[in-house]
Structure formats: C-alpha cells, structure tokens
Structure 1
Amino acid sequence: MKNRILGTTSSLEVSSIGLGCMAMSHGYGEPADKKEMIKLIRTAHDLGVTFFDTAEVYGPYTNEELVGEALEPIRNEVKIATKFGI
C-alpha cells in the first residue's frame, strides 16, 4: 500500500486508500454483524490500510465504538477521521 501526506499543510501520513466504515452500522439497512466488521477492519489494516473514517451520527456513536474496538490493539498504527455536529 502506498502512503501519502494528508492535505498540504500537514505531515500526517496515511494510506492512499482509506476505509469508510459508515455502512457497517448505518445507512444501508440493518447493521452488519459486529464480529465480521471487526474482522474486516483488521483485515484492511493487515493489507496496509491506516486511514479509517467514522462519524458520531453512524449509530449514533455505534460506529465510532465499533471502529474503536476493532482498532484498539493497533491504535498507534492508524489514523481515524471522525465527524460530528450536524
């Protein structure tokens, strides 16, 4: 996986492909199986993904909790983008 600097005034380096996690718990019907989504997130990391996107509204809070649980063992190796306030 290639990495890149996020933005033009930052030194924050992330994978060139990120994983948007919204559909895991919000927006497209019933939430997916939590264990399967944790496995998916960790597999993405194993494949080189270091940038994950979530938001408070994807649940609410459910998605952030899912992403946090999945990434807890590797939290120092990843970057998480989250959005708040509608």
Structure 2
Amino acid sequence: MIVAAPYFDATASGQYAAAEPPFWLENGLTVQPGSPAQCRGVDPTRLPGVPAQVAADMKNPANAYFSYADLNGNPRPGSVGCWDLGAYQH
C-alpha cells in the first residue's frame, strides 16, 4: 500500500519552474562502455504476442528507422549483434 502516492496535477502552475532545459542533457543518456544496459535490449518484432502484420510493418524499410535505429540514427542491433536498452545504441 502506498501511503503518500506520487501526485501530478497537469493544470498546476510552475510545473517546470526548477527543471533544467532538456537540451542541457545533450548525449547524457547514451549507453556508456561497460554499462549493464549493453546487450540487454530485444528485437521488438520478436516479442511474444506481436501480430505478424505489426512485425512486418516494423521491418518495412519505410518504417525501419523507428525500430532498427536509435535516436542518433545508429543501426540496431549494434556492431556486436545485440540490442542495447534505451534510446541510444552503443
């Protein structure tokens, strides 16, 4: 049981008053050498229950950028043949 559950009010003022600008992150969320996130991801087309048509659409070259590339355009899986967790491939 959560006694003081986290609460978010999207209509409250000052939501981002103390937040840093997102562009300050630059590549701060990239996978670093030796990270436990390396080679822990999965090919989304091979997840149990993914319909064949959805998997085919993800593999379609017109859509593959969204499944088979990270946010920087690096291919997935990476050069060692595995998928990294997160938005960036090491």
TM-score by length of 2: 0.29
Q: Which has the larger radius of gyration?
A: 2
Higher normalized strand content (fraction of residues)? 1
Higher normalized helix content (fraction of residues)? 1
TM-score by length of 1: 0.30
